Amino acid sequence: MISIKRVLTPITIAFFVSMLAFGFASPVIAGDMDMSDNSICMDCHEDADRDPPSDPNRPQVHNPDGGFFVESHADFSCIDCHTYITNDEHEDTAPGQEVDCLECHDEVPTKE
C-alpha cells in the first residue's frame, strides 16, 4: 500500500523547487526593488538634471554630465547618500529632501 506521505513529499518538494526556479516564492510587490543597485535608479534618473545643492556653500558632488565631481563617491550606491529613498516609488516623498552628509562626514563638506 502506498502512503500519502510517500506521494506528497516528492510533490511538495517539486512544487517548492519550481516556485523558487520561477521566482514565485518571493513576493512581487510594486516598489519592492533592490535600491542598492544603481541601475534601478538610473532607469529613471539617467537623464535627470543634476542641479547643485540648495546651499551654495556645499560642494556639488554630481557632475551634470553624469558621474561625480567628488571621485571618492563614485563607488557608493545612490542610497548610501540618498538615505530617504526606500523604494522605487518615491516621486511624492523625495522632492525637497536633502542629502545628510553627516551620515558619513564629521563636518558638512564646504566648497574649497
From CA 21, how far away is CA 43, in angstroms rounded? Answer: 26
- What mean pLDDT do residues 42-50 have? 84
Give tens-digit pLDDT for 63-79. Answer: 877 788 888 888 888 99
Q: Residue 94's closest CA among 47, 35, 39, 37?
A: 35
Instruction: Give the model's pLDDT for residue 58.
Output: 86
Question: What pTM does this model have?
Answer: 0.63
Q: Which residues contact 87 (CB under 8 A, 6 or more apart)?
A: 31, 32, 33, 35
- What mean pLDDT do residues 40-55 have? 84
User: E strand or H helix at 21, and its extent?
Assistant: helix 4-21
Q: Which residues contact 79 (CB under 8 A, 6 or more apart)?
A: 35, 36, 41, 85
- What mean pLDDT do residues 94-109 have? 88
